[in-house]
Amino acid sequence: VVHVLASKGVNVVPFKLNYSVESVQSILNITMDVDMLSHFDEWQRARDDKKYEAPDEWPVELRRARLIPAVDYLQ
């Protein structure tokens, strides 16, 4: 990809992202929460999460992810 961009005249400048393991894990967790909620949003809004066999687990995660505006963006 870099060679193709360079052949088209793009000046590719290397850079380093100084992320810690904890910050990468946090980013991945938020990303997974958003993806999960965008999939289960209708299910949760219909209150079908009350029928779930383990109501003390995933519905809490889904409600917390509801605060992330990216869910509405993905839908």
Q: How far apart are the first and last CA of the chain?
A: 30
What pLDDT does 11 receive? Answer: 92
- What residue spans define the domains of the chain? 17-74
pLDDT in tens, 28-65: 888 887 887 777 777 777 777 666 666 666 666 767 76
| Distance in angstroms (rounded) separating the CA atoms of residues 20 and 51 | 39
| Distance in angstroms (rounded) separating the CA atoms of residues 68 and 5 | 34
What pLDDT does 53 receive? Answer: 61
What pLDDT does 55 receive? Answer: 61
- Per DSSP, the chain holds a count of helices (H) and strands (E) of 4, 0
Rg (the chain; Cα; Å) = 19
Scanning the chain, the segments in alpha helix (DSSP H) are 2-7, 21-45, 58-65, 70-74
pTM, whole model, 2 decimals? Answer: 0.47
